[in-house]
Structure 1
Amino acid sequence: MKMLVIDRFEGTYAICEDKEQKFFAIETSELPQGAREGDVLNVDDAEGTLTINAEATAQRRSKAKKLQDKLFQ
């Protein structure tokens, strides 16, 4: 299963990045409901469906918050 992170939105596309730092443009209509920047998406290899990985997203946000707090103390 492949994982992507939503980097940003540009018009009707979500620009997503994989672990190898390759970027993909995915139409926002194909994203799961409520997807936003920073969300980690699981890509089902067989069907190509996208789901939000809430656990991985929370871990990434927590790590970013800790780094931010450390920088601005």
Structure 2
Amino acid sequence: MIFIKAVIDRFEDEFAVCEKQDRKIINILRKRIPQNAKEGTVLNFNDDGSITINFEETIKRKREIEEIMKDLFT
């Protein structure tokens, strides 16, 4: 079961700086997140302590951002 969702905002040293759904910022040790995660990746913080990538939500957000950018620059 998913406990929290957060988006990776950036990486700073050994931390992934993530924004939770309530807009609060949390720092997660980079070694705790999946290796293929990058800026913009949506993470699921599961109640069993694991952190996984939410691929569906990540793709959805990327498409939404692309549409906004397209509207702004055309």
Q: For the superposition of Structure 1 and Structure 2, which TM-score range results when normalised by the shorter chain?
A: over 0.9
Identify, as 1 or 2, the structure richer in strand: 2
Q: How does 1:15-54 map to 2 (within 5 A)?
A: 15-45=17-47, 47-54=48-55
Which stretches of structure 1, 4 residues or more, deviate above 2 A after TM superposition? Answer: none
What TM-score, normalized by structure 2, do the two folds share?
0.94
Instruction: Give the residue type in structure 2 aligned to 1:44.
Output: N
Q: Distance in 2 between matches of 1:10 and 1:62?
A: 26
Give the total of aligned pairs.
72
Q: 2:59 maps to which residue? A: 58
Q: Distance in 2 between matches of 1:67 and 1:43?
A: 28
Residues 45-67 of structure 1, C-alpha deviations (whole Å, 9 max, x = no match): 1x211000100000000000000
Structure 2 unaligned regions, length at least 5: none
Structure 1 unaligned regions, length at least 5: none
Percent of pairs with identical residues: 40
Q: 1:5 maps to which residue? A: 7
- Aligned-residue RMSD, C-alpha: 0.6
